[in-house]
Amino acid sequence: MTREQDVDAAVAAGADALGFVLWPGSKRAIDEARLAELTARVPAFVTRVGLFVDQDPGLIHRCAAHLDLLQFHGDESPEACAAFARPWIKALRMRDGLDLHALAAAHDGARALLLDAYRPGVPGGTGATFDWSRIPAGLAKPVILAGGLTPDNVAEAVARVQPFAVDVSGGVEAAPGVKDAGRIAAFLQAVRRGDALRAAGNAQCPGTPDP
């Protein structure tokens, strides 16, 4: 979120959480002052998530005053993630050979693992999907599915993967950092459609193989 109207549109559409990128390398980056302004608009019970990539602990401490949850998107150790007085989640980029069971155990203190696409040199917001069948059953942590989700594919993603939550950035934008209220609303509707498909046993989900 970089703009007031995008915060308002996401809240109106029923988003449970809003993300604020504090990493200056992102086209969606905001600074501490903007974080304070934008998060002040967020109503109670909508989670304010701050996103960091291997950043200065002092900055994270200051930003935490405006945040409910910290999202670590770099190579932070579990100990580094746990050093702030806020719940946290760890983003894992799905490069080849990841042992998600071992990583879930290593990140015991995380509230969830956010699984995102891997693209060398780009820590996040790639707009790329990954092969969802690589997510093993029975992970010890709730999964937040991310990476290339859009209003067109998120219903299938929810029905197939059955994640705890989904995360989207580029799929609801008109341009990097500029969200589109229509796409946000369409995304949230598609999430609910996917949840209904899931509850109905995936019967109509196009991506689910026949039993």
Ligand X SMILES: O=C(O)c1ccccc1NCC(=O)[C@H](O)[C@H](O)COP(=O)(O)O
Under the rule (CB under 6 A), what is the footprint of ligand X?
19, 21, 23, 26-28, 51, 53, 73, 116, 123-127, 146-149, 167-171
Looking at the Cβ atoms of 73 and 90, the one nearer to ligand X is 73
**Smallest distance, ligand X to C-beta of residue 200, A:** 26
Residues 6+ apart with CB under 8 A from 61: 84
> Which residue number places its CB atom closest to ligand X?
124
Going from the C-alpha of 127 to that of each of 35, 52, 66, 148, 193, the distances in angstroms are 24, 18, 27, 4, 22
Looking at the Cβ atoms of 53 and 202, the one nearer to ligand X is 53
Residues 6+ apart with CB under 8 A from 200: none
**Smallest distance, ligand X to C-beta of residue 31, A:** 15
Looking at the Cβ atoms of 69 and 100, the one nearer to ligand X is 69
Looking at the Cβ atoms of 26 and 39, the one nearer to ligand X is 26
